[in-house]
Amino acid sequence: MTPFELAEPRTLREAVALLATGETPVRAIAGGTALMLMMKAGVFQPARLVSLRRVAAHHSEIVATPDGGLRIGAMATLSSLAHSAVVKQAAPVITQTLKTLSNVRVRNVATLGGHLAHGDPHMDLPPVLTALGAQVRTLSPAGERTLAVGVLYTGYYETVLADNELITEVIVPPQTGWRAAYMKITTRAADDWPTLGVAVSLQMESNTVKDARIVVSAATNTPVRLTAAEDTLRGASLDVATLTRCGDAAVSGVDLAADAHGSTAYKCELLRVYTQRALRQIVAAS
Ligand SMILES: Cc1cc2nc3c(=O)[nH]c(=O)nc-3n(C[C@H](O)[C@H](O)[C@H](O)COP(=O)(O)OP(=O)(O)OC[C@H]3O[C@@H](n4cnc5c(N)ncnc54)[C@H](O)[C@@H]3O)c2cc1C
């Protein structure tokens, strides 16, 4: 590993001022679980790393908002999210997802901000947070902005974040009337990287679906909303015919990439089947 400077600012404003504004390879480092792997592999050689360790104490709070939503500091570790009673209460699908997201050693140091900013399409929480309608707040020298998690990703490991822009907070809106499920399909251990991820969130009015969000990930370059599949659900009751129509529409609405975890045909079948299983899980829990 080539030598680099390590800056340890005490505030987020100092941190964004220290981040790259030109050619120099400068990056923030939070838990370091993704960045250190890239450095060890030689695909990223920083001139300077801006550690967020000293700002963590002020930006890792997990708070239930009065309306029933959540405000989560970007430096909250994935373990703290997994064990949070307020997260379990407001959005149990997040708690459930974290059970098989990597392993406890990674979860203990990895942060929500680093998880969302990394842009790896195999990450488990971006599709879940997109389905929940969550937003990120960011800070850069240009000021603050709020973005839907669903618009954060532009390509494989690419986001809309500027080089000197940090995620400061994640906002999960109240989920009153909504129910969600996430299906992580792996071909090896249950906590392996997903071959395919499907997140579903439904707003129900008695037995009828009022609104729906369905998001696929891992076999796509970014998390993708399956709008054609969502359309099959609005105004429908969740009977077998609707589930079948929805599964078929999910597959028709997206291009899935083959890789070492499976062919495109295999992943299409996974998507068809697991979209329906997610819907069934929501019905069973209602
Ligand atoms: C063995 C292993 C198995 C894994 N398995 C899974 C899995 O099954 N599912 C899954 O979803 N993930 C998995 N992961 C990935 C893991 O979730 C990520 O490595 C982790 O969430 C990244 O968070 P971090 O804080 O360590 O980020 P870092 O490594 O510190 O940073 C990652 C990137 O985000 C940037 N960054 C960090 N914080 C911020 C911020 N606040 N604002 C803007 N940019 C920021 C950094 O500059 C860097 O570019 C696995 C990782 C490992 C090592």
**Tens-digit pLDDT profile for residues 195-209:** 999 999 999 998 899
Residue 286 is predicted with a pLDDT of 78
Q: What is the CA radius of gyration of the chain?
A: 19
Tokens of 252: 């028709």
* pLDDT for residue 217 is more than 80: yes
Question: What is the 33 CA–ligand 1 centroid distance (Å)?
Answer: 5
Res 22 pLDDT > 80:
no
**pLDDT of 120:** 96
pLDDT reported for residue 230? 98
Residue 191: the pLDDT is 84
> pLDDT tens digits for 106-138?
999 999 999 999 999 999 999 999 999 999 999
Quick one: 24 exposed, middle or buried, by C-beta within 10 A (0-12, 13-18, 19+)? Answer: exposed
Of 118, 147, 157, best ligand 1 pocket probe by most atoms within 8 Å of the beta carbon: 118
- Nearest CA residue ID for atom 36, ligand 1: 114
The pTM of this model reads 0.97
Average pLDDT, the chain: 95
Residue 120 CA to ligand 1 center (angstroms) comes to 9
- Residue 64: pLDDT band by 50, 70, 90 thresholds? very high
The residue ranges of every structural domain in the chain are 5-51, 59-172, 178-285
| Calpha distance 50→10 (Å, rounded) | 11
| CA distance linking residue 204 with residue 281, whole number of Å | 14
The confidence score (pLDDT) of residue 23 equals 65
Q: Which residues line ligand 1 (CB under 6 A)?
A: 27-35, 37, 52, 74, 101-102, 106, 110-111, 113-115, 117-118, 123-124, 161, 166-167, 191, 193
Contact 39, 165 (CB under 8 A): no
CB 149, CB 229: distance < 8 Å: no
Mean pLDDT of the 20-24 span = 69
pLDDT, position 86? 98
Q: Domain 178-285 class?
A: alpha beta
Q: Which fold has domain 59-172?
A: 3.30.465
